[in-house]
Amino acid sequence: MGRRRGIMSDELKNELAKELGFYDTVVNEGWGGIKARDAGNMVKRAIQIAEEALANQKQQ
């Protein structure tokens, strides 16, 4: 079986990690090194961005 592909692009994950302040951990330890709280915050922020984008589309 192939590895399941993530929904978020690596570029988006890196940007979110930078924005949320744990990108250094990702660079030094990989994604497995981040805290569960950081991963949760990353998902919350990605959802927030998606909701904002959707709201902007509806306004146009």
The amino acid at 56: N
Higher pLDDT, 8 or 22: 22
Q: What length is written for the chain? A: 60
Taking the whole predicted model, whether its pTM rises above 0.85 is answered as no
Q: What is the spatial distance between Cα 16 and Cα 29, in angstroms, rounded to a whole number?
A: 16
Q: Where are the domains of the chain?
A: 10-59
Confidence of residue 2 (pLDDT cuts 50, 70, 90): low
Enter the tokens of residue 10: 């690596």
* pLDDT tens digits for range 18-48: 999 999 999 999 999 999 999 999 999 999 9
